[in-house]
């Protein structure tokens, strides 16, 4: 059965106005043209859809069935149009974001406020180490990516939106806690805990000490900032972490050392492949993230 949407709209006008002339006027076409379209619709259905008695239209049983179906199609179409408008406005849809582990201290809150203001938005958030985020970036699996050190071998659009200072932390009773300042070379004589090789924090720290022609004695590699901070508080060694990891206030047993050259300055960046056009929803979240980050303070 070959029926067009235009024909269904004309038939709905026929039902609502009760005449072919009224349907033609509502559709913005001539009466002869309306008659032709209605005849083609009747032929496509294969049964009479209406009768004209005394210039008034009466629907047949097939016509009443088609009128109900046409109303359902119209309702679905209107729902589709509304959905497209909200998608264009970034007010609904699925948003996929991948971020490195350290972003957990601020990004979920910003994502939450974005979704709270947009009940039609669903969000998928992947929290991974840097290698995991880069792998998803290579496969183009998400709308946006949050990290501090984007890879340099991909064509990316990167926007810095918030500082990500790296600091040296120690137990409060550590000997260096009373020194002001501490020279980076002095740290070489102490044990360190660190994130896995390839993490943004580890790369930044390695670059710094390589430039100072010294190396840290990394005894333990741990996969999360929380584990590192707990181990530092337990006296297992010193660590270099993002200042964002200290935001929670749950690390009262730690102190930030005054080390010359620290904090190491870097920035959080929101990233996507250069060839990818952001959806209105992703673009709206990117704008929201940048705006919200301006009001967030970072401990020194």
Check if 5-88 and 92-163+267-293 are the same fold.
no
- Please tell me what DSSP assigns to residue 246: G
Per residue of the chain (300 residues), give pLDDT as tens.
Answer: 789 999 999 999 999 899 999 999 989 999 999 999 999 999 999 999 999 888 788 999 999 999 999 988 987 887 787 677 767 777 778 899 999 999 999 999 999 999 999 988 999 999 999 999 999 999 989 999 999 999 999 999 999 999 999 999 999 999 998 888 999 999 988 999 998 888 889 999 999 999 989 888 898 988 888 899 999 999 999 999 999 888 655 577 899 999 999 999 999 999 999 988 888 899 999 999 999 998 875 654
Domain ranges of the chain: 5-88, 92-163+267-293, 166-256
Q: What is the pTM of this model?
A: 0.70
Sort strands 92-100 and 217-221 into parallel, antiparallel or unpaired.
unpaired
> Is the CATH number of domain 92-163+267-293 3.50.50.60?
no
Q: Within its chain, how far is the Cα of 109 from the centroid? A: 13
> Is the CATH number of domain 5-88 1.10.10.10?
yes
Fold of 166-256: D-Maltodextrin-Binding Protein; domain 2 (3.40.190)
d(CA 210, CA 145): 28
């Amino acid at each position: 059965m070959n029926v067009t949407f235009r024909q269904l709209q004309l038939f709905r006008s026929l039902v609502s106005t009760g005449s072919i002339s009224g349907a033609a006027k509502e559709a913005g076409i001539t009466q002869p043209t309306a008659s032709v379209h209605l005849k083609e619709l009747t032929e496509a259905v294969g049964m009479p859809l209406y009768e004209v008695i005394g210039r008034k239209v009466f629907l047949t049983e097939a016509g009443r069935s088609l009128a109900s179906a046409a109303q359902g199609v119209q309702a679905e179409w209107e729902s589709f149009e509304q959905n497209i408008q909200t998608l264009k406005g970034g007010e609904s849809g699925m948003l996929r974001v991948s971020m490195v582990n350290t972003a957990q201290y601020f990004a979920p809150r910003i994502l939450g406020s974005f979704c709270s203001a947009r009940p039609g938005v669903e969000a998928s958030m992947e929290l991974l180490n840097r290698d995991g985020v880069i792998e998803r970036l290579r496969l183009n699996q998400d709308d946006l990516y949050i990290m501090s050190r984007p890879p340099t071998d991909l064509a990316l659009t990167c926007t810095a939106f918030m500082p990500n200072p790296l600091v040296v932390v120690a137990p409060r009773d550590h000997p260096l806690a009373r020194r002001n300042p501490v020279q980076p070379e002095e740290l070489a004589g102490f044990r360190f805990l660190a994130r896995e090789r390839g993490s943004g924090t580890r790369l930044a720290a390695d670059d710094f000490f390589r430039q100072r022609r010294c190396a840290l004695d990394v005894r333990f590699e741990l996969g999360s900032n929380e584990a590192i901070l707990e181990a530092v508080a337990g006296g297992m060694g010193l660590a270099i972490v993002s200042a964002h990891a200290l935001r929670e206030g749950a690390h009262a047993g730690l102190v930030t050392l005054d080390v010359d050259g620290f904090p190491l300055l870097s920035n959080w960046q929101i990233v996507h492949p250069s060839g990818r056009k952001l959806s209105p929803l992703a673009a709206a979240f990117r704008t929201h993230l940048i705006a919200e980050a301006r009001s967030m303070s970072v401990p020194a």
